[in-house]
Amino acid sequence: MNMNIMNVDYSTKIPNNVNLAEDRQVLKALEGWHPGYVDWWNDMGPEGFQQSLVYLRTAYSVDPRGWAKFDYVKMPDYRWGILLAPQEEDRKIPFGEHYGEPAWQEVPGEYRALMRRLIVIQGDTEPASVEQQRHLGKTAPSLYDMRNLFQVNVEEGRHLWAMVYLLQKYFGRDGREEADDLLRRRSGDADSPRMLGAFNEKTPDWLSFFMFTYFTDRDGKMQLHSLAQSGFDPLSRTCRFMLTEEAHHMFVGETGVGRVIQRTVDAMRAAGIDDPTDIAKVRALGVIDLPTIQKKLNLHYTLSLDLFGSEVSTNAANAFNSGIKGRYHETQIQDDHQLKNSTYPVLKLVDGEIKRVDEPALTALNMRLRDDYSQDCIKGLLRWNKIITTAGYDFQLKLPHTAFHRAIGEFKDVHATPDGILIDEGTWAKRKGDWLPSTDDGAYIASLMKPVTELGEYASWIAPPKVGIDNKPGDFEYVKIET
Decide: 128 and 444 in contact? Cβ < 8 Å. no
Average pLDDT in the chain: 95
DSSP state of 82: B
Residue 403 to residue 418: CA distance in whole angstroms: 8
What are 400-427's pLDDT values in tens digits?
999 999 999 999 999 999 999 999 999 9
Reduce the DSSP state of residue 4 to 3 states and report it. Answer: helix
Decide: 201 and 211 in contact? Cβ < 8 Å. no
Contacts with 319 (C-beta within 8 Å, 6 or more apart), sequence order: 114, 118, 325
Nearest to residue 260, comparing CAs of 451, 464, 98, 100? 464
SS3 content of the chain, % helix, strand, coil (to 5): 50, 10, 40
- H or E stretch including 223? helix 217-228
Residue 405 to residue 232: CA distance in whole angstroms: 36
Residue 55 to residue 470: CA distance in whole angstroms: 10
H-assigned helices in 68-142: 112-132
Decide: 245 and 126 in contact? Cβ < 8 Å. no
Tell me what pLDDT residue 9 has: 83
Per domain, the residue ranges of the chain are 20-480
Residue 168 to residue 184: CA distance in whole angstroms: 16
Go through 185-208 and write b for each residue having 16 or more CB atoms within 10 A of its CB, e for each that does not: bbbeeeeebbbbebbbbebbbbbb
- H or E stretch including 346? strand 343-350
Look up the pTM and report it: 0.96
Q: Is the pLDDT of residue 329 over 70?
A: yes
Contacts with 224 (C-beta within 8 Å, 6 or more apart), sequence order: 122, 239, 242, 243, 246
Tell me what pLDDT residue 5 has: 47
Confidence label for 60 from pLDDT (cuts 50, 70 and 90): confident
DSSP state of 19: -
Compute φ and ψ for 359, nearest 5 degrees.
-115, 160
Cross-strand pairs, 68: 59
What are 162-208's pLDDT values in tens digits?
999 999 999 999 999 999 999 999 999 999 999 999 999 999 999 99
Tell me what pLDDT residue 3 has: 36
Q: With the C-alpha atoms ordered 124, 161, 145, 220, is the resulting torsion angle positive or negative?
A: positive
CATH 1.10.620.20 fits 20-480, yes or no: yes
